[in-house]
Amino acid sequence: MLKVNFNDNWTMKDLQTEKEYHVRLPASVMNTLLDAHEIADPFYRDNEEQALEVANKDYLFYKRFEVDQTLFAHEKVTITFHGIDTIAEITINGQKLATTENMHRIYEWNVKELLVEGENEIRVTLFSPLKYIEEKQRKNRLAGVDHAVDGYQHLRKAHSMYGWDWGPKIPDLGLWRDVELKAWNDNRLEDIHIHQIHNNNQVQVRVDVTVENQMDSCETTVLLKDPAGQVVSKDVGKDSFLFEMDDPQLWWPAGYGEQSLYTLEVSLNKDGEQIDSLTKSIGLRTIEVKHEPDEWGKSFTFIINGYPIFMKGANYIPEDNLLPRTSKERTERLIQDSVAANFNMIRVWGGGHYPEDYFYDLCDRYGIIVWQDFMFACSVYRLTEQFEQSVRQEAIDQVKRIRHHACLGIWCGNNEVEEAMEHWGWPKKADWRRDYIKLFEIILPDIVAEYDSQTFYWSSSPSSGGGFDKPRDPNIGDVHYWEVWHGQKPFTDYRNYYFRFCSEFGFQSFPSMKTIESFTKPEDRNIFSRVMEQHQKNDAANGMILYYLSENFLYPKNFDALLYTSQLLQAEAIKYGVEHWRRNLGRCMGSLYWQLNDCWPVASWSSVDYYGRWKALHYYAKKFYDPILLSIEEGEKDASIYVTNDHLEAIVGRIEWKLRDNQSRVIREGWKEVKVDGLSAKACQYLDFSDEINETTKYQTYLEATLYIDGEAYSYTTVIFTKPKHFDFLNPQLNFQVEEGNQQFTIQVSAKAYTKYVEIQLEQDAVLSDNFFDLSPDEPKNVTIAKNRLPKSVTKAALERTLSIRSVYHITH
Ligand code: BMA
């Protein structure tokens, strides 16, 4: 098999201006025009508005290439487009090859007949995705969300490119993934399907190989290598191979063990010569979803290698609106940040696109289980013959591409379509509902059963199992819970629910000042300015943030303090929900907050912003997702101290608690030795403070608790018994000292009075070991920054000079 990378030397032509640009794939129209300074950065101020004009036109991508005799001599020559965005006509040497209309498909065509030896030309004309949906929607109006360009659901293109309640309307066009030319004679490896059969400590790996035009002279060799690269087994045969291993190294999600990856090398030989080969990396594990009746309703529990494991993570959206700007490095940082925040799951939300292979490779390597939605979200879809055929093939392409990954935990039909059709006030049209059932409850599960029978299929998120049967039931299946935020309920409302698996809930905040500076002029820096509103896609959200602010904090002294306070609100809200659900481990088995990342600089529900900067929420996630969680459920005058232990083994420790006043004088204190079994949560200590907390003291009293494990302070937390806006915080007179070590800087922060949400701000972008933490006067805090996350030029003196610290007290001072 001869493979030629076909990404180089393309030309993009604007068919209106006739201007041409030299490009390398993957490439998009918008990104090319931006690089050529033809358009201004669409992420800056209100420049987004020009994007629709760009997307209203047609463009041509073409390439001239030589086909030499060696290539031409092969019997078969194909071209593979790993991603065409989206409506295209492709010709080779003036003859039509194909038309496309699905960005999520992998297209392969035979091109031998169209090629000539010598110079050839391929032309891909990309047609405006706006005109197409406008016409379709005019003919057949379908329900959907109103923050995207009307009619978006008619085209198999990432919905969020048309705008979302966190995303700009930049429906770019392009060749968004690699293109390859392949040439071979008669035979090649057509398909590899790997199955795992686990039985106690024994694993059988079955490899089914499909060879195109299988012949007697063809032989396949399959090599299985262990994680160290040693060959464990080798087999030569035709189409089915079975490897048995005793006590193999299992693959575990992050926090539970190694991410051991075996390698399968498949080579196809003909007459003793290798003619094709393929390598796949696999992890030996079982992932099941237990959805069974129990005392509360019906469970939704991921069972991994036999253990019921609480899933912790967030929802993932496309990383950039301009797709060619994404990269493995950026994704790797996001995955590292997820692991750093103690995630073990990421949900790939259905309104974007199916991520790159490297996304899944990284999740395999870092131990992040992927909840994979098919790309359908918040809309009605009609199964015309053409649409049905297109989505069928899309699903087959994607299932076959992704199924072997150790990280793949679940296939899910769509995001919120079942719930929307039932509860969002859309007309309950019979043909809409029939097509829904056909697509999400027949076609897609059948495809998963045929091509990836080992992975669990769930028809929609949220759902109680399908058929429009109470998709919002809090006690069955998964739930998206938005009453806190969209429904304006207080944070405490989370405590009224014991969802079996909360796959979405969220709270917005503004990104940091640095991020806002990237898209504003100084005069824009007011949250109601035109530019700031352009970067806030949820119409009601600024009002919502201010409402929750009024409920919880004092009115901030300036714009920067408002940004900071919005992040505190977000962090507190999500923490409130997660800690509650983790205290109810067993009944609730998963928490995925909305949303992990951003696709441009914007006010949104993300915990990591477009530039990779951690918001307060991400630092909070690191703590509220810690495998050993110390949490306090406070009442008006009482509190319960809990420990949640996600490890498989029991832990023993000691909880020390102190009830203190705002000058941190100890009012009452105590301690308790605790033992918490593996995979369980325990109410370790109930404390009644009705003697200490009254109408006067409640504004000045806080409870702190420290969990010691093996004599070391493992975690520290505090709660107050009133809203922060009413607590009498004293000036903490924050102080810091910087120490330099070989690998890291350590910043020791101390306070003269109790304070909350201490934020260390650096000039440089860096991830700190902790931030937005609480401090008591006698307990200074050491925060470290790894030197490899800072520019080399940063010195101790520079840090001391430029570092600043603030806390809750500074919202108003
Ligand atoms: C959820 C998601 C998204 C949306 C988010 C915030 O329902 O599925 O569609 O961005 O809410 O509103």
Which residue bears the tokens 């072997």? 404
pTM, to two decimals: 0.98
Long-range contacts of residues 211-219, Cβ cutoff 8 Å, at least 24 apart: 211/187, 211/238, 211/239, 211/268, 212/186, 212/187, 212/188, 213/186, 213/187, 214/187, 214/238, 214/239, 215/186, 215/187, 215/270, 217/270, 217/271, 218/187, 218/268, 218/269, 218/270, 219/268, 219/269, 219/270
**Under 8 Å between Cβ of 419 and 459:** no
Atom of ligand 1 at shortest range from CA of 506: 6
Cβ(165) to ligand 1 under 6 A?
yes
Cβ(378) to ligand 1 under 6 A?
yes
Q: Per-residue DSSP letters for 380-400?
A: -----HHHHHHHHHHHHHHHH
Q: Taking Cα atoms as reference points, which of 212, 217, 214, 223 lies closest to residue 270?
A: 217
Cβ atoms < 10 Å from Cβ of 543? 12
pLDDT digits (tens, 9 = 90+) for 480-512: 999 999 999 999 999 999 999 999 999 999 999
Structure tokens at 448: 């998963």
Cβ(480) to ligand 1 under 6 A?
yes
Atom of ligand 1 at shortest range from CA of 486: 12
Pocket test for ligand 1, best of 152, 153, 160, 378 (most atoms within 8 A of CB): 378
| Strands 231-237 and 218-225, bridge-based pairing | antiparallel
Cβ(419) to ligand 1 under 6 A?
no
Supply φ then ψ for residue 243, to 5 degrees. -115, 135
Mean pLDDT over each residue of the chain, to the nearest integer: 97
Burial code (b: 16+ CB inside 10 Å, e: under 16) for 58-91 equals bbbbebeeebeeebeebebbbbbbbbbbbbbbbb
When pLDDT is cut at 50, 70 and 90, the band that residue 779 belongs to is confident
The fraction of the chain above a pLDDT of 70, given in percent, is 100
Q: What is the pLDDT of residue 671?
A: 98
Atom of ligand 1 at shortest range from CA of 165: 10
Nearest CA to ligand 1 atom 9: 378
Q: Cα separation of 282 and 402, whole Å? A: 11
pLDDT digits (tens, 9 = 90+) for 44-90: 999 999 999 999 999 999 999 999 999 999 999 999 999 999 999 99
- For the chain, which domains are there? 2-183 (2.60.120.260), 188-282 (2.60.40.10), 303-508+539-624 (3.20.20.80), 627-728 (2.60.40.10), 730-813 (2.60.40.10)
Q: State mean pLDDT over 435-458.
A: 98
pLDDT digits (tens, 9 = 90+) for 163-191: 999 999 999 999 999 999 999 999 999 99
Q: What is the DSSP letter of 527?
A: T
Q: What is the pLDDT of residue 524?
A: 98
Cβ(48) to ligand 1 under 6 A?
no
Q: State mean pLDDT over 525-537.
A: 98
Pocket test for ligand 1, best of 504, 593, 600 (most atoms within 8 A of CB): 504
pLDDT digits (tens, 9 = 90+) for 248-301: 999 999 999 999 999 999 999 999 899 999 999 999 999 999 999 999 999 999
CA-to-CA separations, 611 to 136, 360, 508, 570, 607, in angstroms, rounded: 36, 22, 17, 19, 11
Cβ(537) to ligand 1 under 6 A?
no
**Distance from residue 395's CA to the centre of ligand 1 (Å):** 23
Q: What is the pLDDT of residue 743?
A: 95
Atom of ligand 1 at shortest range from CA of 166: 10
Cβ(164) to ligand 1 under 6 A?
yes
The fraction of the chain above a pLDDT of 90, given in percent, is 98
Cβ(497) to ligand 1 under 6 A?
no
Q: Cα separation of 318 and 155, whole Å? A: 17
pLDDT digits (tens, 9 = 90+) for 205-245: 999 999 999 998 999 999 999 999 999 999 999 999 999 99
Pocket test for ligand 1, best of 480, 502, 594 (most atoms within 8 A of CB): 594
Q: Cα separation of 722 and 145, whole Å? A: 38
Exposed (0-12), middle (13-18) or buried (19+): which is 339, by Cβ within 10 Å? middle
Nearest CA to ligand 1 atom 3: 165
Q: Taking Cα atoms as reference points, which of 626, 783, 777, 616 lies closest to residue 704?
A: 777
Q: State mean pLDDT over 665-675.
A: 98
Q: State mean pLDDT over 438-463.
A: 98
Nearest CA to ligand 1 atom 10: 165
Q: State mean pLDDT over 647-674.
A: 97
What are the respective helix, strand and coil percentages of the chain, to the nearest 5? 25, 35, 40
Q: State mean pLDDT over 636-655.
A: 98
**Distance from residue 167's CA to the centre of ligand 1 (Å):** 11
CA count, 13 A, side-chain hemisphere, 284: 27
H or E stretch including 311? Answer: strand 311-316
Q: Cα separation of 378 and 422, whole Å? A: 11
Q: What is the pLDDT of residue 778?
A: 82
Structure tokens at 252: 């575990």
Nearest CA to ligand 1 atom 8: 415
Q: Cα separation of 501 and 591, whole Å? A: 6
Supply φ then ψ for residue 320, to 5 degrees. -155, 140
Cβ(504) to ligand 1 under 6 A?
yes
Nearest CA to ligand 1 atom 6: 165
Q: Is the pLDDT at 464 greater than 90, yes or no?
A: yes
pLDDT digits (tens, 9 = 90+) for 390-433: 999 999 999 999 999 999 999 999 999 999 999 999 999 999 99
Q: What is the DSSP letter of 717?
A: E
Atom of ligand 1 at shortest range from CA of 480: 7
Q: What is the pLDDT of residue 789?
A: 85
